[in-house]
Amino acid sequence: MDLALAGKTVVVTGASSGVGLATAKALLAEGAHVAACARDKTRLAAALATLPKTDKARVFTAACDVLDADAVASFVDTAAADLGGIDGVVNNAGRSLLARIEETSDAQWRAELELKIFSVLHVVRAAEHHLRRSTAPAVVNVNAILSRQPESKLAATSAARAALLNLSKTLAAELAPCGIRVNSVCLGLVDTGQWRRRYEDSDTNLTWDDWTAELARDRGIPLGRLGTADEVAFPILALLSPRASYITGSAIDVGGGVARYV
């Protein structure tokens, strides 16, 4: 199915690896232009250099800290000028903090909440006036199933993710009169750099496949494995697509069936 994204311009944050990179790749394959940012421009450029190039899809890259509102505004405005506007935003920058409540300092709580909330607010605020000019504007916030199903080992991240899900619903309601749709994609366990690093730091004798299969069993994932970044990119593109024009304020779980809530 043609997702009608050809010629659209989409901002993707945290685009140097994992879900962000997979999303940029999928957008380019659909003929969309991509404005990609990450904190490390060299790493970002190296990652995007591996992507297939087409004559119709263009890429704009910049180093940008999503917690710096001025830097975000400059990035978005420059990208819009270079690529001819902004039609979509994928807020993907983020991380998780593996720590229980008693192991988490006040500074870490503040940092988690600041990252999850302002990494989205700064980009949406900067992009809103560009999105208003689009014929099919859409925002997708990459969140986590933790937002509805907290884990004690990820106390601060779970709480911050819940705050982001709440914020996403409010943004959807606030921006709907402008025709701007806002939706969330909530991840379960996905094979990204974070899990690879945890595997390397685990001192396990298991292979990666056996280690992740054991992890999936421990986390109660019915499909019995971790997801891939490409499997997350598809629902992101589907929600960005003009064909999803009556979907806003929604959240799609991509977690192999791990959700234990109704």
Same-domain check for residues 114 and 177: yes
Torsion region of 121: left, alpha or beta (phi above 0 gives left; psi -120 to 50 gives alpha): alpha
Phi/psi class of residue 84: alpha, beta or left (left: φ > 0; alpha: ψ in -120 to 50)?
left
The answer to whether 254 and 185 have CB atoms below 8 angstroms apart is: yes
Q: Is residue 259 part of a domain?
A: no
Strand ranges inside the chain, DSSP E: 9-13, 33-38, 59-63, 88-91, 138-144, 181-187, 251-254
Whether 175 and 243 map to the same domain: the answer is yes
Q: Is residue 106 located within the same domain as residue 214? A: no
Helix (H) or strand (E) holding 228: none
- Asked, for residue 200, whether it belongs to a domain, the answer is yes
- Residue 2 domain flag: no
Distance CA 123, CA 206 (A): 41
Domain identity same for 75 and 122: yes
Distance CA 238, CA 229 (A): 15
**pLDDT tens digits in sequence order for the chain, 262 residues long:** 899 999 999 999 999 999 999 999 999 999 999 999 999 988 988 988 887 767 778 999 999 999 999 999 999 999 999 999 999 999 998 888 999 999 999 999 999 999 999 999 999 999 999 999 999 999 999 999 999 999 999 999 999 999 999 999 999 999 999 999 999 999 999 998 778 888 999 889 999 999 999 999 998 999 999 999 999 999 999 999 999 999 999 999 999 999 888 7
* Residue 59, domain member (yes or no): yes
| Domains contained in the chain, number | 2
Residues 121 and 214 in one domain: no
In a domain, 46, yes or no: yes
Is the same domain home to 241 and 128?
yes
Residue 207 covered by a domain: yes
CATH of the domain at 180: 3.40.50.720
| Three-state SS letters, 40-108 | CHHHHHHHHCCCCCCCCCCEEEEECCCCCHHHHHHHHHHHHHHHCCCCEEEECCCCCCCECHHHCCHHH
| Secondary structure class of 188 (helix, strand, coil) | coil
On whether residue 65 sits in a domain, the answer given is: yes
96 with 136, same domain? yes
Give a yes or no: residue 219 inside a domain. Answer: yes
Q: Is the dihedral of CA 226, 229, 231, 236 positive or negative?
A: positive
Domain of residue 198, residue span: 191-226
129 with 208, same domain: the answer is no
Alpha carbons 236 and 62: distance in angstroms, whole number = 22
- Give the pLDDT of residue 94: 82
The identity of residue 132, as a single letter, is R
The H or E element containing residue 247 is none
Question: What is the reported pLDDT for 52?
Answer: 74
- State pTM to two decimals: 0.94
Please give the single-letter amino acid code of residue 43. Answer: R
